[in-house]
Amino acid sequence: MSKISLSVGVFADLLDQWGPDLARWPQQERADVEALLGTSPEAATLLAEALALNDALRDSQPKAPAGLADRILAASGAGKPKG
């Protein structure tokens, strides 16, 4: 059986750095995290909480009204000939 080289504390720091989408992590860290997640309920909880927070933040982003960018550009005079 191989020794897990990643502590929960280090995992928490890496989670803050790389985010909860493990596919975006560097390969070496990902392998270590998968080993840790297989043995640590605390690490699994940290990941689940980070994923839930990420989803909540993504779902709560306000959407700009349709045509807002066009109205801003029109009001700014962008695209009007100078003279």
- Is 57 among the domain residues? yes
Determine the number of helices (DSSP H) and then strands (DSSP E) in the chain. 4, 0
State how many domains the chain has.
Answer: 1
Domain limits for position 19: 8-76
- Tell me the pTM: 0.66
Summarize pLDDT for 34-58 with one digit per residue, the tens. Answer: 999 999 999 999 999 999 998 888 8
40 Cβ partners below 8 Å, 6+ apart?
A: 8, 11
pLDDT at 78 over 80: no
- Is 44 among the domain residues? yes
With 0-12 / 13-18 / 19 or more C-beta atoms within 10 angstroms meaning exposed / middle / buried, residue 64 is exposed
How far does CA 2 lie from the centroid of its chain? Answer: 30
- Is 2 among the domain residues? no
- Is 82 among the domain residues? no
- Is 1 among the domain residues? no
For the chain, the distance separating the N- and C-terminal CA atoms, rounded to the nearest angstrom, is 77
- Is 58 among the domain residues? yes
Portion of the chain with pLDDT greater than 90, in percent: 51
